């Protein structure tokens, strides 16, 4: 009766391998850019002190199968430490599990005592796809 087991195994393998069809209007979260800001301890932050010295690491998570490794970070406020500019290109060459990562270090602007809190927008662009993150600059 071994042949019947092989017949059954074939059918069960096929059934187990069936999967939903691709919906072009839906991109699973794990296949999109995930952006977050973290402090030196690795905790996610949503604010940064506007003292001109505080820093936050901007972490861009991409699927490991991403074809292009070039990641462009840009910010509306503060500057990136490595080139003192508002835009920087990094490589997403750090792979962990099903994801690859790119990092950039952002330093805050100095807020005057009279200035209200300010929102910074950090944008990441990969292969024509963009994701945006907001950080609040506090006194």
Contact flag: residue 96 with another protein (CB under 8 A): no
- HSE at residue 24, side-chain half, CA atoms within 13 A, is 0
Q: Which stretch binds another protein (CB under 8 A): 12-20, 79-87, 105-113, 116-124?
A: 12-20
Number of residues lying near another protein (CB under 8 A): 31
Q: What is the DSSP string of 67-108?
A: S--EEEEEESSSEETTTTBSEEEEE--EEETTEEEEEEEEEP
Contact flag: residue 63 with another protein (CB under 8 A): yes
Contacts of 35 (CB under 8 A, 6+ apart): 58, 59, 60, 61, 122, 124, 131, 132, 133
Candidates 35, 37, 59, 62: give the one binding another protein (CB under 8 A).
62
CB of 86 to another protein, least distance (A): 24
Q: Which two tokens stand for residue 42?
A: 């690795």
Contact flag: residue 126 with another protein (CB under 8 A): yes
Contact flag: residue 46 with another protein (CB under 8 A): no
Positions touching another protein (CB under 8 A) are 3, 6-7, 10-11, 14-15, 17-19, 21-28, 31-33, 62-63, 65-68, 126-129
């Amino acid at each position: 009766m071994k042949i019947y087991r092989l017949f059954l195994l074939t059918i069960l393998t096929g059934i187990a391998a069936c999967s939903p069809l691709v919906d072009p209007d839906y991109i699973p979260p794990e296949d999109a850019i995930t952006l977050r800001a973290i402090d030196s301890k690795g905790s996610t932050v949503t604010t940064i002190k506007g003292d001109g010295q505080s820093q936050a690491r901007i972490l861009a998570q991409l699927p490991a199968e991403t074809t292009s490794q070039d990641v462009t970070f840009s910010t509306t406020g503060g500057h990136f430490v490595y080139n003192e500019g508002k835009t920087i290109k990094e490589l997403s060459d750090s792979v962990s599990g099903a994801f690859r990562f790119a990092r950039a270090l952002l330093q805050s602007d100095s807020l005057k005592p009279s200035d209200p809190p300010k929102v910074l927008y950090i944008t990441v662009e990969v292969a024509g796809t963009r994701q945006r993150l907001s950080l609040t600059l506090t006194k």
